[in-house]
Amino acid sequence: MEKYTEGPTLDLKYLDLLAEKYPNIQEASTEIINYQALLQLPKGTEHFMSDLHGEYEAFIHIMNNASGEIRKKVDSLYGKMLTSAERAQLSTLIYYPEEKLKEIKNNQEININEWYMITIHQLIEIAHLVSIKYSRNKVRKSLPPEYAFIINELINAENTSREEYYESIISTIIEIGKAEDFIVAFSTVIKRLIVDQLHIVGDIFDRGPRPDIIIDSLRAHHSVDIPWGNHDVLWMGAASGSAACIATVLSNSIKYGNLDTLETAYGINLRPLALFAQQQYKGSKRYELKSNDEIGNEDLRLLSKMYEAISVILFKLEGQIILRHPEYNMDDCLLLNHINRKKGTIWIAGKTYPIKIDDLFPMNEESPYQLTSDEQSVLDQLFTTFKNSYRLQQHIRFLYSTGSMYLQCNNNLLFHGCIPMNPDGTFMNFCVNDVNYHGKSYFDYADKMARQAYYAPEGTKEKKDGRDFLWFLWRGRHSPLFGRDRITTFERLYIDDPEAWIEEDNAYYQLIEDPIVCRKIFEEFGLDYETSHIINGHVPVNTMMGESPIKANGRIIVIDGGFCKAYQKKTGIAGYTLIYDSYGMRISSHEPFLGIKNAIENNSDIFSQEQVFETPDNRLTVADTDGGKDLIHKIEDLKNLMSAYQQGLIKERRGIPADNTTS
């Protein structure tokens, strides 16, 4: 008998594989029902942050308080039942349960068992509130395995008639001395469920004291992605073995007094550089560093010499890269060979500037970019210590595994810097081996080269070109992560004329307010202008001068709000979190943080002010997300499988199916 078919041709090979998981019509139809139900649930909450720059205490607190969302939940439940001080203490307990429990246990006036009972009840109610937008199965998967059954029972206790059963569970928890474990567990579950997805839009490294602590926190997060920033690719280059990136990392760290990241976090041995600088450099006023209470004058003098020594090495290494790569179009950034020592001048981009030769470092005038044997020896030792730092390599592999040059997620395009553009609104072209890259193809090429730097075999041309390209991404002409025509470190050190210090921004930053240009960018990445957004970091928003992070009529959001303390005088705030949930988009601006110790002892929080700027007509559901689109495709596949069963194209099986629990 001839088999009949209806609709599109069925891919029987694929359906055969799918049948291993869903061996009969009943299993397939049950999963379709599950998926259809999931599509109706509210969209999960996404948080977007950028430019953390090592400010680990503020970041950890904002992670713990979910950018103020946990306090809002506490207030909504207990605004009329608890005082403001009591709500603040309950919120702090959720943020820092272990530390807060120690403090509360030392309070002799508290009946601790009664406090345990009340607090566990409160945490159960909060956990229930943050869990109701998810499927039971997803909530179950987020629970700590050792207490999953009990917590799942308790947070689903609402509206049941088994009150004695639940009160018995809580009483037993306290009686057997497990109350503190459950308080910690409930606090963890609340923080886990309140933010479904975290996006860090670049620049975890540099400036602040401990980016490594931030990365450890991100590695423990349940769902995070990281479009790279220029400071991230700099450290990726250093870990990959780029000499220029290693020298830049050291120069930045010494200049900004951030040696903890190098020595304490990653065990980078600075002794070879210190010995070389002490022997070779007398100390130039051009490289004098600012003193602080933690560094003595003798150490400061040594650090200034180290800063000068590594900067000189860097200027030479950068020249070598520019000479190797004419496609970078940076020949006018070759400065050392344009110094006229006799006249005391330097030629830069068609203009001659006076330069104080007495302040300048000695160099080989015939080969100004050639390292001395001593400089090469220092670099070789630094290369070894960077490559052998287990923790650094572990963190950089995490950046590669979770990160990329850009990200498209739920109709949003995330990238750190800019889409390089010409002043006329066309995409800037980057030509390599007669192949032109621009817009999206440029980002894809950059992503490929960044990965090549780390994963290509040592000694290959691919490895060397990839390493050089990571340096280019850090500070190359109109790099999509840098977004300027040049960086003027040498000029600021040696030329007194401020005209030589000018760094012109890419045209992107002026053009993005033009709807025509915006539409062109969205079309380039296959996004709908009316419903999509670009989310940027990199350029601090000058709120003190009235600048808004929301640009181009809400199509572009810049979320660099000055997490780094160095930028807070300009921004007037201490960072942004962009929040995208089922009710739309809002941006939360944060006040400066006074420290974790103060937060625990005084129940203080980061004050955050929200601005709602986009509210959809209907509440967003899972069906409106990328995950929802995947579910719709799966439903179609399962319907095709059912059709194949019904037509006899595939035989049903009645054995025990695989675990088909829906996420």
Please tell me whether residues 81 and 11 are part of one structural domain: no
Cβ atoms of 512 and 518 closer than 8 Å: yes
Please tell me whether residues 360 and 244 are part of one structural domain: yes
Please tell me whether residues 354 and 312 are part of one structural domain: yes
d(CA 495, CA 492): 6
Looking at the domain assignment, is residue 589 inside a domain? no
According to DSSP, residue 288 is labeled: P
Please tell me whether residues 35 and 71 are part of one structural domain: no
Looking at the domain assignment, is residue 325 inside a domain? yes
Residue at a domain's end among 173, 194, 215:
194
Looking at the domain assignment, is residue 61 inside a domain? no
d(CA 642, CA 15): 10
- Reported in sequence order, the residue ranges of 591-641 that DSSP labels E, i.e. its strands, are 608-614
Report pLDDT for 426.
96
Structure pTM?
0.93
Please tell me whether residues 231 and 367 are part of one structural domain: yes
Report pLDDT for 4.
41
Looking at the domain assignment, is residue 238 inside a domain? yes
Where the chain has pLDDT below 50, the residues are 1-7
Query: What is the tens place of the pLDDT at every residue in 526-575?
Result: 999 999 999 999 999 988 888 999 999 999 999 998 888 888 888 889 99
Looking at the domain assignment, is residue 489 inside a domain? no
Report pLDDT for 293.
60
How many structural domains does the chain have? 3
Report pLDDT for 584.
95
Please tell me whether residues 181 and 253 are part of one structural domain: no
Please tell me whether residues 373 and 254 are part of one structural domain: yes
Cβ atoms of 637 and 13 closer than 8 Å: no
Please tell me whether residues 6 and 75 are part of one structural domain: no
Looking at the domain assignment, is residue 294 inside a domain? yes
d(CA 534, CA 581): 16
Cβ atoms of 39 and 634 closer than 8 Å: no
Supply φ then ψ for residue 200, to 5 degrees.
-110, 110
Looking at the domain assignment, is residue 312 inside a domain? yes
Residue 412: its H or E element: strand 412-414
Cβ atoms of 73 and 104 closer than 8 Å: no
CA-based end-to-end distance of the chain: 41
Residue whose C-alpha is closest to residue 537's, from 567, 503, 581, 511: 567
Question: Residue by residue, what is the 3-state secondary structure of 446-482?
Answer: HHHHHHHHHHCCCCCHHHHHHHHHHHHHHHCCCCCCC
Range of the domain at 265: 227-387
Looking at the domain assignment, is residue 612 inside a domain? no
Please tell me whether residues 25 and 156 are part of one structural domain: no
Please tell me whether residues 235 and 383 are part of one structural domain: yes
What is the arrangement of strands in the sheet containing 533-536, beginning at the earlier edge strand?
407-409, 412-414, 533-536, 556-558, 550-551
Residue at a domain's end among 327, 359, 387:
387
As given in the structure block, the two tokens for residue 167 are 């009160």
Please tell me whether residues 126 and 273 are part of one structural domain: no
Task: Assign 420 to helix, strand or coil.
Answer: coil
Cβ atoms of 509 and 418 closer than 8 Å: yes
Report pLDDT for 109.
80
Cβ atoms of 228 and 403 closer than 8 Å: yes
Please tell me whether residues 29 and 83 are part of one structural domain: no
Residue at a domain's end among 324, 355, 387:
387
Task: Assign 435 to helix, strand or coil.
Answer: strand
Residue whose C-alpha is closest to residue 399's, from 212, 197, 208: 212
Q: Specify whether the backbone of 486 is left (phi greater than 0), alpha (psi in -120 to 50) or beta.
A: beta
Report pLDDT for 1.
36
Task: Assign 546 to helix, strand or coil.
Answer: coil
Supply φ then ψ for residue 129, to 5 degrees.
-60, -40
